[in-house]
Amino acid sequence: MGAVIDVAAPASVDTRTRVGTRGRTWRLLIACARHAAGLTDASEVGDVAATINDWAHVERRTSAHGLVPWLARALAQGAPSDEHAPIIAAANASAGRTLAQVRRLGELVGALADVGVTALPYKGPVLSLQLYGDLALRQSVDLDLVVPFDTYDVARAALVRRGLPPRWGHSARQECTLFAWLGHAPFGEGDDFVELHWRFADRRFPFALDARDAVRRAREPGHEPVRRRATFDVCPFIDCSRHIADFARVGQAGRMSRAGDQQPPCAPACARARTDGSRSDVVDHRAHRSSSRDA
């Protein structure tokens, strides 16, 4: 009988390595979120970054959580390293997209103003500027505009004329039924993606901020390309967004629990929804609380 080869050992080692990699990545994400919320300085991010052994995994996770700009900024304050190159490149690409979004946002707000509709941008780069004083620190997939409900049809037609067709081919009549509960409808193709809102939150959330009142209270553009929400309106919106994200994560856990034979328990997902400090919506919430205290 020949030598016995323990084929299980490498697998267990690989498993431990993967778990260790995920743990270090999560610690880095949380450090980035704490830095973004003003709870710590960049040195904490640098200390955790020194333990990372899989930067490709870090780049994927920070991108998924919208923390690439914060990580890149923190890393730039330390010693340069070739390992950080993917993060720096991703942050530069994100900044380029944000600048293009701001330019597009100015075009669309101007086009709506030409037809008598005052649109209020929210989330995305405008929220980044309002919370952090920097357009590039918040990653956005799309642009969001809110208009009073009685001007929605005019705004919708203006977006279509500007080359932003209904994203899913829906008609105006379908929007009244399919998207009525959401309070918004998507327009555009590919990366040129805009959501036109007549409410700030869907009907599952009794969010009382009225679009017309918010537009009336918004700051005049001044030297900026678009209006910004009044500070009075920012905190309740962020707080509602945080609860919407929590609700979505718990719903996702419920769907996972119904799929397959091995049912993951919902309790850990619910706990993470309440405590996960690496989500950008939670970061925004903490950042606004910090800025409100400073004011």
4 domain-assigned: no
Residue 160 pLDDT? 94
pLDDT at 81: 85
Is 126 contained in some domain? yes
* CA distances from residue 242 to 3, 11, 22, 101, 269 in whole angstroms, order as listed: 58, 39, 24, 23, 15
Q: How many CA atoms lie within 13 A of 65 on its CB side?
A: 25
- Whether residue 117 is found in the same domain as residue 219: yes
Range of the domain at 150: 100-229
Would you say how long the chain is, in residues?
Answer: 295
**CA gap 107, 48 in Å, rounded:** 42
Is 95 among the domain residues?
no
184 occurs within a structural domain: yes
Rounded CA gap, 281 and 279, in Å?
6
Provide the 8-state DSSP code for 136: G
Number of domains comprising the chain: 3
- Same domain for 105 and 197: yes
Query: In this predicted structure, what is the pLDDT of residue 131?
Result: 78
138 shares a domain with 250: no
Task: Indicate if 212 and 177 belong to the same structural domain.
Answer: yes
* Same-domain check for residues 222 and 119: yes
pLDDT computed for residue 251 by the predictor: 53
Same domain, 189 and 253: no
Q: What is the pLDDT along the chain (295 residues), one digit of tens a residue?
A: 444 434 344 444 355 555 578 889 999 999 998 988 888 889 999 999 999 988 988 999 998 888 999 999 999 888 778 889 889 999 999 999 988 998 999 999 999 999 999 998 888 888 888 778 888 888 888 899 999 999 999 999 999 999 999 998 888 888 888 788 888 899 999 888 999 999 887 777 766 677 888 778 776 654 454 555 555 456 556 656 655 565 555 555 555 445 544 444 444 444 443 444 444 554 454 444 444 444 4
Q: Which of 191, 214, 229 is the last residue of a domain?
A: 229
For 37-83, where are the alpha helices, taking DSSP H only?
42-49, 55-64, 68-76
pTM value is: 0.69
Are 160 and 111 within one domain?
yes
**Contact between residue 21 and residue 54 where contact means Cβ atoms under 8 Å apart:** yes
Whole-angstrom distance, CA of residue 257 vs CA of residue 264: 5
Task: Please give the pLDDT value at position 151.
Answer: 94
Quote the CA–CA distance of 68 and 85 in Å, as a whole number: 12
Residue 92: inside a domain: no
**Are 120 and 222 within one domain?**
yes
245 and 142 in a single domain? The answer is no
Are residues 108 and 215 part of one domain?
yes
Report which DSSP code applies to 219: B
Which pair of structure tokens corresponds to residue 91? 């942050």
**Three-state DSSP state, 140:** coil
Shared domain for 237 and 219, answered yes or no, is: no
Shared-domain flag, residues 223 and 241 = no
